[in-house]
């Protein structure tokens, strides 16, 4: 079974400061990892994913994430947060084993960027 932990319910950051949203995962074998963002009253938007290769993945809106296999983590980062980044962020994982078609999401992190 695969699972994701997003340990913080809410992340507060001042505008212009670095933003980090934490994610750790548990999966058998190699993981496929995803980050999604949900703005108020909207659906989920895909930000980025790690499948294989370079551990640092760059995505939409200036976000990036670093895959760390030894720490089983995939933290989302942005060097300089904007007020418009205030949203709910979800990390998700799927095992890369053949026939595994189920995606497990974390409970989400509310990010509040303070002007």
Partner 1 sequence: EAQVTQNPRYLITVTGKKLTVTCSQNMNHEYMSWYRQDPGLGLRQIYYSMNVEVTDKGDVPEGYKVSRKEKRNFPLILESPSPNQTSLYFCARGDIPLGGRETQYFGPGTRLLVL
For partner 1, the binding residue among 13, 76, 90, 113 (CB under 8 A) is 90
For partner 1, the binding residue among 32, 62, 72, 77 (CB under 8 A) is 32
How many angstroms separate the Cα of 77 from the Cα of each of 28, 56, 100, 109? 25, 10, 28, 13
> Contact region for partner 1 (CB under 8 A) — 15-23, 61-69, 75-83, 88-96?
88-96
- For 17, the token pair is 């400061």
In angstroms, rounded to a whole number, what is the distance separating the alpha carbons of residues 44 and 17?
Answer: 24
For partner 1, the binding residue among 60, 83, 102, 114 (CB under 8 A) is 102
User: What's the CA dihedral at 73, 76, 80, 84 to 10 degrees?
Assistant: -150
- Nearest to partner 1 of 43, 115 (CB atom): 43
Contact, 105 vs 45, CB < 8 A?
no
User: Contact residues for partner 1 (CB under 8 A)?
Assistant: 4, 6, 32, 34, 36, 42-46, 49, 51, 90, 92, 94-98, 100-108
């Amino acid at each position: 079974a695969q699972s994701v932990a997003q340990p913080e319910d809410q992340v507060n950051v001042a505008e212009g400061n670095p933003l980090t949203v934490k994610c750790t995962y548990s999966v058998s074998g190699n993981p496929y990892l995803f980050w999604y963002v949900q703005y108020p009253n909207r659906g989920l938007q895909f930000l980025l994913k790690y499948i294989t290769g370079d551990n640092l993945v760059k995505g939409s809106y200036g976000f990036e994430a670093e895959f760390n296999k030894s720490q089983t983590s995939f933290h989302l980062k942005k060097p300089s947060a904007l007020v418009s980044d205030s949203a709910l962020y979800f990390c998700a994982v799927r095992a890369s084993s053949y026939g595994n078609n189920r995606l497990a999401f974390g409970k989400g992190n509310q990010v509040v960027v303070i002007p």
